[in-house]
A and B are shown apart, each in its own frame.
Chain A
Amino acid sequence: MGLSRLQGVLAQLYVDAELRERWHTDVVGLAKDFGLTAEETEQLAALSAWQVDFFAKSLKNKRLGQARKLLPSTAKVLGRSFAREFFAYAERPIPEGIDKHRLDTLRFVDFLGRRVNEGNDAVPAWVADLARYEAAWLELRKGRSVFEMRMFRYDLRKPLNEVGVTQDPSVPLRRRSMAFWICLPRGRVVHWLFPVQYTFF
């Protein structure tokens, strides 16, 4: 098999669950779609399904580990659901480039928000807010913005205070809150999080 073509097929097999499923059930059809020769098809068929699946799973675990590091409070509050939700999200490949893990985590935060909007009970709405709050810090850490602002549906102050001492912080009040971040010289960040009292928000 031409090395370039072999690597392309392998890369897709490792990251694409649908393609893997197709490979499991119809390797000949898949090979035809990729324009592989009979010899190349044999080589593709000779890959160990167990090894490929295990490697694919380990790639997702690696992404999960990075997301846990970047969203520590969200991970703590969601507990085992964090991994379950992340694996549901991680059916799509990791973004490309140097900054891939941060981008991957930011996309996961968007995914959590969509889960809430779809009415999925596994992710409490306030936890999606918490994830967006942590995502704002990730945006700042990249150093491309000096100012961030976020609106939340819940008052996140109490859970943020509690998450350091308990895995099960109390559900916050459903009261809109707002956060500002301003980057100052020498890496300092000024940050405010406060409930919004006014109806014009």
Chain B
Amino acid sequence: MDKALPSLGVGIGYREPILSELFLRRGSVDFLEIVADHYLDAPREKMKELELLSENFILVPHAINLSLGTAEGVDEDYLGKLAALVNWLDPPWWSEHIAFTRAGGVEIGHLSPLPRTRQAGDVFSRNVERVSERIHPPLILENITWLVDIPGAEMSEAQFVASVADQTGCGLLLDVTNMYTNAVNHGFDASAMLEVLPMDRVVQLHFAGGHTQEGVLIDSHGYATPDEVWDLMGSVVARAPVKGILLERDENIPPLDALLPELEQAREIGRRYRRWD
């Protein structure tokens, strides 16, 4: 991981409904994360939107379907398109998930957990190596929420994430909401993960609020961030050289003004630990 990554501050995941407000509140948002997949094979108008955003904000691409954990290897067609986009944007870093989204010719449609085994770590590392040959900016890896506990695990979630980061040499995008969600759903202490995760590799954080369905906490990115996630964020920022904190909001998107207090709260946490001014 490149230690010289710039400190970006506080950002928000770009979604079309907030486009015009972003320009009115430009001073409140230090960077934007774009979902890379929205700009692959995109119509000309969508690419113009991207150009406009890139002229006014620092953009960090976030890919969701590279399926870095697939044993059959990454989809070269998808990789080619993603590489063209990310290399063109030339961001300070870009991100993908520690997950698989397709296997055996079947598209799952969402991020699925990997078996927490050394074999899965090796496959993941091999795929990252292939991707790094095509995409030049540094890749950081995000922890996901998981509902299915795959039998045969050789390590805990935190150990697996640490192992993958170590093998690939990538930085981490620590989603503190995902950490909290998994802790609630599977009955462990999220803060205990911080003892195992390589905190010096944490580059960026994600946060959001979810909802409960049939007794399961879902990371729907549709609600205000709960207190427990704010506390966890504070603990992470205190220990990790975080360069950026980003709010993800995908459902029930309110006017941007209603989200700014959450950005300000995250900014204050970064300031408290001197991650930025």
Contacts and interface: CB of A to CB of B under 8 A. Distances in A.
A43 B152 contact: yes
Question: Which DSSP category, helix, strand, loop or mixed, fits chain A's interface?
Answer: helix
A67 to B, nearest CB: 12
Contacts of A170: none
A8 B108 contact: no
A11 B108 contact: yes
Interface stretch (A56-64, A79-87, A107-115): A56-64
A33 to B, nearest CB: 14
A164 interface: no
Nearest to B186: A51
A3 B108 contact: no
Given A3-B120, A4-B71, A98-B37, A10 B43 contact: no
A100 B109 CA distance: 8
Contacts of A15: 106-109
B40 interface: yes
Contacts of B106: 8, 11-12, 15, 93
A51 B113 CA distance: 12
B65 interface: yes
Interface in A25-54: 43, 46-48, 51-52, 54
B209 interface: no
Contacts of B108: 11, 14-15, 59, 94
A5 to B, nearest CB: 8
Contact of A12 (B104, B110, B117): B104
B174 to A, nearest CB: 22
Chain A interface residue count: which class? 35 or more
A54 B112 contact: no
A3 B115 contact: yes
B251 A51 contact: no
B238 interface: no
A3 B123 contact: yes
Contact of B110 (A2, A51, A62): A62
B147 A55 contact: yes
A99 B214 CA distance: 31
B44 A100 contact: no
Contact of B43 (A7, A96, A143): A143
B103 interface: yes
B31 interface: no
A191 B259 CA distance: 35
A72 interface: no
Contacts of B143: none
29 contacts: A2-B71, A3-B71, A3-B120, A6-B150, A8-B105, A8-B106, A10-B112, A10-B150, A11-B106, A15-B106, A15-B107, A15-B108, A46-B151, A47-B150, A51-B149, A55-B147, A55-B148, A58-B147, A94-B107, A94-B108, A95-B107, A96-B105, A98-B40, A98-B41, A98-B81, A100-B107, A100-B109, A143-B42, A143-B43
Interface of A: 1-4, 6-12, 14-15, 43, 46-48, 51-52, 54-55, 58-59, 62-63, 65, 93-100, 141-144, 187
Given A3-B117, A55-B147, 13 more contacts: A2-B71, A4-B103, A6-B115, A6-B150, A8-B103, A8-B104, A8-B106, A55-B112, A58-B110, A94-B107, A98-B65, A143-B42, A187-B45
A-B interface, 8 closest residue pairs, ranked by CB to CB distance from nearest:
A143-B43, A8-B104, A7-B103, A4-B71, A46-B151, A11-B106, A187-B45, A94-B109
